[in-house]
Structure 1
Amino acid sequence: MNLNRDGDTLMTLMGTTGIDFPGGTVDFIPEMKFIYGSDKERIPCYRVLDDNGQPIADHNFVQVSEEVAVKMYTDMVTLRSMDTIFYEAQRQGRISFYVTAIGEEAINVASAAALAMDDVVFPQYREAGVLLWRGFTLQEFANQLFSNKYDNGKGRQMPAHYGSNKHNYVTIASTIATQISHAVGAAYSLKMDKKDACAVTYFGDGGSSEGDFHAALNFAAVMEAPVIFICRNNGWAISTPISDQFRSDGVVVKGQAYGVRSIRVDGNDALAIFSAVQAARKMAVTEDRPILIEALTYRVGHHSTSDDSTKYRPANEIEWWRVARDPVARFRKWIENNGWWNDRAESELINNLRQRLLHTIQVAESVEKPPLADAFSDVYDIPPSNLREQEQWLKEIVKEQPQEYPANISV
């Protein structure tokens, strides 16, 4: 069709009341009207349980079996116990770094419970609960933290940067938001291969300020990639509050701007997260579309062991969220009301977890480090000459200065 020569067709497309533009007809109006930067009415937040673990009237959520609910709760408690004991290990100087998920356990575990094992996860660094749900053992966590020879990453990554091919959990990278675009690429590949699976990526509110986030959402929307974007909006990007990050109504409206179906969910409500993620997965897989979930929560712990959050936020604010909005306590009340949990089961779980975690630390600490050769493998099929020279140089340094290296290090 040549619009330059077909005036009638051009007038039909332009019309007198609107223009037929890609995406639908855009109406004409005679008044100059700007779209305001933010609306007074904010996007509502989906919730199932109130702060006391009681279902809200007229709620709608996906029914959870006793088996799944109890596993969700025990994994949430396990994650919190891991964070407590491994954090203490870092403070004792036994590991160099650690990141906790205190206050965000529901997002971790409930979202994992709603996914399928074939779904590929691209985490940030506060999603250990997803890996825990998928079967990663406490010993495997400890091995990675201590960078011993049984660590999947062969000791080449920072502590708390887990990865597991077996569990479809892509290794964590410290760089902010790079995993978001990777997830979209994987999702597009799953679509092309006609797989009954989707990609899922997690990131914080700070990650949504990175260019990777915007490029990924736009690509996913245009190419209709089956990917779920889960934003943990915990109020803080290290020491930067969300009020200093963006003027928009959080992150959920950014999905809408890119043409991505989006929802805001109470991130401290395990049932709401489970229901939203399960619904999102169904839409992503069956309709080949991206979904954005903004989970409103709060980072109760410090950003990492390198941070002291009391320097930039009041202690009473942290304490209020820790007590009044605790996702673990809220979900416990719900399963107790259903007769699926009691004080005796709680006591046995806590005592058992502490013993197991302390044992895993002792074991991981006693295992020797990976051989030095592993620092130079897995990148090139045939190592280039400069890499071989660096390896030889390092071996000579170790031999010359053995006192500077662990006695059991292998050269």
Structure 2
Amino acid sequence: MRGFDELRYIRPTLVIFVFLVTVFLMLMPYHVFQNEAINYTQKIYSGIFETSVENLGSALSLGYFQWNAMYNAVLSKDEVFIEEMLQEIQNEFPAVKSARLISRPSEIPVKDVYRVSALEQELYLYFNVYDSHMENEISDAVVIASIDKNFLLSEMNLDGRITFSPGGSKSFAYGLRTEIKGYDLTRWMILHSVAAGIIGVLFMMEVLALGLSRYYEMSGLQEIMYLWEMEDSHTAFHSRNVAKIAECLGKSLGLRRKKITELVNGAKLHDIGKMGISANILRKHGPLDEIEKEVIRNHPQHGKEVLQHFKYLERFVPYAYLHHEREDGSGYPQGLKGDEIPLEAKILAVADVFEALTADRPYRTAYSFAQAVDMMTEMPLDQDIVSKLKSILPELENELCGRNPRKCGIIGSQT
């Protein structure tokens, strides 16, 4: 990862801080996970426990209490047979602690095959006794079976996680109270949090590396442009002044801050295509011949090609490529007109022309701000933007580098 290369730019305290904050944030929901695990256990295994009890009740009812032999034994009060059957139930079904024949309680209806009941944390099954065809039943007696709850839990391998207790904090199946032990997530959470902390630090370093890389690409090229322009006293500060004018225009036009920042950075790179042009052409005192004019007209294309080499800087291509387009289609390199020209290119065109007119050139001296604006009203520029420019001239007087205060001083009487 490139982030490791940028680690030298980060203070160790920042790395430690990001790591600890990430670990802390990951550990914060630990109790939530624990509660969710407990609730899951309560909900899912409560249903499984109820199913086990229902299965036990169905098996006992079908096997022993829907049978002519048991029905007749109860009718004839054959206690020996009844006791043998009840003892067999306890032997065959370990979940049954005891079973006996009792007089029918008032709360046990005659028509139910069996009824589950919990009383004082004990679980019971009440069985009605039918003949084999279930056409007749014993009306005054039922069989009550006491269920071993813990045995059923052990059969489901839940005895280590669920404990029946009269004062238990959780309600389980049939209203029984339990204490439920959550899953031990401590080691998993610590490992997960440490891993997240490491990933967080690596991500921070990667973002820093990407940010620095983009900063180097943009600021580096801007600085190269600045140093290149400083070689000629006539073009010194040109791109920076164009950027300042464009910024003031962007604010006056109500552009969003992010767009203004983009406008400023694009303006600083708008003439990067000129760096490949001979100084003899750029600094020529007399008029240019046709070949020299063609060379100059190609600088937007060269600027576009340079910026396209840098993926992050591709968004600045319109600034370098389209700032010489004009409203009437007389500009270059594409001859766009009116709404075909992006707003940022229109703003840059106004800023570029204004900066050029108000700066000294080898072939002429600078115009005053007011003179420049008057001239621009006759040019194929966006006149709404030109009007905005006129309104901010006092602000530009103090903002632009290398301007002659004497020439700027006539603004008040001419604007």
Q: TM tier, shorter chain?
A: under 0.3
Tell me the TM-score normalized by structure 1. Answer: 0.19
Tell me the TM-score normalized by structure 2. Answer: 0.19
More helix as a share of residues: 2
Q: More relative contact order in 1 or in 2 (CA 8 Å, sep 6+)? A: 1
Greater gyration radius: 2
